[in-house]
Chain A
Amino acid sequence: AQSVTQPDIHITVSEGASLELRCNYSYGATPYLFWYVQSPGQGLQLLLKYFSGDTLVQGIKGFEAEFKRSQSSFNLRKPSVHWSDAAEYFCAVATYNTDKLIFGTGTRLQVFP
């Protein structure tokens, strides 16, 4: 069965520092992969997605993610974190034409000034 693992429940970084949030998935075929962000009290906003082509994808708000098939990973990165990036981040996986988007349990990012 498909599954998504986000091993870090909570990450704290200083403003201006680089960031990497980890995501590992389990699925036999090529997955479609997504990162969503949820700001406090808000819904989920799509940051970026991967479904084919270049394994390094660029998203909104300066985020990028790299798909590594050999490691079954899709880690999210940002070179310099801003205080407004404090939020919860969810990795999700789907397969083409399926009806389900499966989410990881999320990583809460805290940013210190």
Chain B
Amino acid sequence: EAQVTQNPRYLITVTGKKLTVTCSQNMNHEYMSWYRQDPGLGLRQIYYSMNVEVTDKGDVPEGYKVSRKEKRNFPLILESPSPNQTSLYFCASSSALGVDGYTFGSGTRLTVV
């Protein structure tokens, strides 16, 4: 089944403790992206990648890092999480964004205390 897989689904952590949210897609897509969803703000792009070793900042990149060493994987790294990063995070991928849009993962709900 074609899908985007994120892990974990839920995560509670403490301020400053580094964490990684994994994302993997099995559709051989070039584009991958991370979004965060907050009430009243919709989905905002954090980082995106157009292909292996090519990443760039989205609208809200502060406090996040990403890497794209393999085509299928696009992990999101929070080096020193803070409470304002408590949010619902989505990974997504696409073969041709303008035409197909993104396929989304199921989301990771992160709480930073």
Query: A46 interface residue, CB < 8 Å from B?
Result: yes
Q: Which of A36, A46, A101, A104 has the most CB of B within 10 A?
A: A101
For chain A, what secondary structure do more than half of its interface residues adopt (helix, strand, loop), or is it mixed?
loop
Interface pair A95/B98, CB less than 8 Å apart: yes
Sample (14) of A-B pairs whose CB atoms are under 8 Å apart: A34-B101, A36-B101, A44-B90, A45-B104, A46-B103, A49-B100, A94-B98, A94-B101, A95-B98, A98-B97, A101-B97, A101-B102, A105-B41, A106-B42
> A48 → chain B, closest Cβ, in Å?
10
Q: Is B45 an interface residue (CB 8 A)?
A: yes
Q: What count of chain B residues pass the 8 Å CB interface test?
A: 27
Q: Given the known A-B contacts A43-B90, A105-B40, are A100 and B98 also in contact in the complex, defined by CB atoms under 8 Å? A: no
CA distance A51 to B92 in the complex (A): 20
In the complex the two chains form, is A32's CB within 8 Å of B90's CB? no
Q: Given the known inter-chain contacts A99-B50, A100-B58, please indicate yes or no for A92 contacting B97, CB distance below 8 A.
A: no
Does A42 touch B at the CB level, under 8 Å? yes
- Residues in A with CB closer than 8 Å to B75 are none
- Kindly state whether residue B81 has any CB partner on chain A within 8 Å: no
6 tightest CB-CB pairs across the interface, nearest first?
A96-B98, A105-B42, A103-B43, A44-B104, A43-B106, A43-B104
User: What number of A residues sit within 8 Å (CB to CB) of B?
Assistant: 25
Interchain CB contact under 8 A, B101 and A99: no
Question: Of A46, A49, A90, A95, which one neighbours B42 at CB under 8 angstroms?
Answer: A90
Would you give the 0/1 interface string for B29-61, flagging 1 where the beta carbon is closer than 8 Å to chain A? 001010100001111110010100000101000
Q: Which residues of B contact A70 (CB under 8 A)?
A: none
**Closest B residue by C-beta to A104:** B42
B31 / chain A contacts, CB cutoff of 8 Å:
99
